[in-house]
Amino acid sequence: MKYIYYLLCIVQILLAVGLIFIISIQESKNEGLTGQIGTTVSSSFKGLAGKDEKLGELTRNLGVAFFVISLVVAVTTNRWGP
């Protein structure tokens, strides 16, 4: 059981580093005049997903995985129980 906890902690750290990396390489959508007006830039291209869409999907998936692993680690440390 102790080894599973350590494995989950290592996975949690790797997911955190992955999230930091993925978020740091994304481009800001509030650049230029569009960001000053307050509107968002949307793509009308209906083909394959571009780089921004793929990075957004990867960020979402990593975030959900990090949240789930964090909950499992928190529960397995017995901090919430009596």
For residue range 36-82, list pLDDT tens digits in order.
Answer: 565 555 555 566 668 888 888 999 999 999 999 999 888 888 765 55
Domain count, the chain: 1
pLDDT for 38? 56
Is the pTM higher than 0.85? The answer reads no
Query: Considering the domain boundaries, does residue 16 fall inside one?
Result: yes
Query: Considering the domain boundaries, does residue 35 fall inside one?
Result: no
Query: Considering the domain boundaries, does residue 61 fall inside one?
Result: yes
Half-sphere exposure of 21 (CA within 13 A, CB side): 8
Query: Considering the domain boundaries, does residue 57 fall inside one?
Result: yes
Query: Considering the domain boundaries, does residue 42 fall inside one?
Result: no
Query: Considering the domain boundaries, does residue 41 fall inside one?
Result: no
Q: Which domain holds residue 12?
A: 1-24+51-77
- pLDDT-derived band at 2, boundaries 50, 70, 90: confident
Query: Considering the domain boundaries, does residue 63 fall inside one?
Result: yes
43-80 burial: b if 16+ Cβ within 10 Å, else e = eeeeeeeeeeeebeeeeeebeeebeebeeeeeeeeeee
